[in-house]
Chains A and B, each alone.
Chain A
């Protein structure tokens, strides 16, 4: 059975009429890396909140359907029980930093302290997590002295250190430099291979195509389409609905319109684009 089961999920925030999510059905296998794409307001963050239990435990409002992970229903768990298995990073890292700690090291240790992990183990796990996201040199800095992208890495690390079974990331690389963003995708890919289930809302389609197992495209609170990254990201349906895709895909689409691109499929990566455009030269 799938590790995550979202069944007939419809949800509206308090005092709103239009549901933010409508009739979402989604199954995710253990160790799968699923990317959520869609325009702003399509429901990506809300779906992240629902998977992480913040909907409905923190954001009230009207919920139908259910979210199940690791055989448990979110509606029948408390938020603190749920978050032992499920970790969420917020879109804005500033919302996540505790404000209670003076250094990055302490900030990352905070969650483990809260659940009573022994001191020696905390030290080891924090060191491991700092190495995983390559921020060892920030360990002694104040979280508030960091740039946006660095704070984003700290926020991600403070969740990874908890070793969640399901990792939910809401645009985790939005403020990162390009190489840093790619490294996060690559690190997440590795975690998924080791068995962590990952859902990531993102716009960076070049790295989604390379690292994710599946893409779920949301539009106006509904799933528009889902499938293998290549199939979704090169589809006419996505194009017609104004989704952003990589420059490789859109340049090839335009070349095809002008009769230059002769290959049957459109490219999602530099290698494929080089091969297809190389044939034109």
Chain B
């Protein structure tokens, strides 16, 4: 992954986030950057934990719990995840 240009890696991360999130999408809303976890996807604390664990598995990263309170939308999660992938996989 580190050999790929950053744009490509970035696309990969976005696609992975959306792919994992889709399996947790019970409300059936179309996933966009502005989609909100609580209001649009009805995520509760338990589902957030399960989703994050699945995302960690998919991308082989650790998502610190500290980042979660600041993430309200899918777009914010993509940005945060991209940063973690950059840090952890160089």
- Chains A and B come from one and the same complex: no
Q: Could you list which residues of chain B lie within 8 angstroms of chain A, going by C-beta atoms?
A: none
Q: Could you list which residues of chain A lie within 8 angstroms of chain B, going by C-beta atoms?
A: none
